[in-house]
Structure 1
Amino acid sequence: MNANDQRILHIDDDPAITRVMQARLAQHGYAVDELHDPTCWRGALVNGGYRVVILDIEMPQLSGLEVLQQIKQFDIGVAVIILTGQVKMNLVFEALGYGAEFCLFKPANELRQILEALEASFSRIDHWRSAAAHAARQIRIQKKTSEIKSKLKANVTVSPSLVGQLPGSFEWSKFEDYLVSRGAITLEKLKIARTAYARSVKPIGQIALQNRYLGVAGLMQVLERQADTQAMFGETAIELKLLTHEQVEDLLEKQKHLSTTPQDAIFTVGAMTPVNLNRYLAEYLREMEASSSWAVPSPETTDHPHQVTATL
Structure 2
Amino acid sequence: MRQRFISPALAITFLLGACSSEDANSKSKTEKTGDSTSSITLTDFAGREVSIEKVPERIVSLSGGDMDIIYALGGEVAGRPTSSHEENDAPYKDAIQIGSTHQFNLEKIASLKPDVIIGNNPMNTKDVENFESIGAEALLTSANSVDEIKKQITLYGDMLQKQEEAEKLTEEIDADIKKMSAGSTENEKRALLVYGAPGTYMAALPNSLSGNLLELAGGENIASDYPALEQYPQYAQLNTERIVEANPEYVFLLTHGNPKEVKAGFLKEMSENPAWNNVAAVKNDKVEILPADLFGTNPGTRITEAISYLDNILNAEE
Q: TM-score band, normalised by the shorter chain?
A: under 0.3
Normalization by structure 1: what TM-score? Answer: 0.26
Of structures 1 and 2, the larger Rg is shown by 1
By relative contact order (CA 8 Å, sep 6+), the higher-ranking structure is 2
Structure ranking higher in helix proportion: 1
Normalization by structure 2: what TM-score? Answer: 0.25
Structure ranking higher in strand proportion: 2
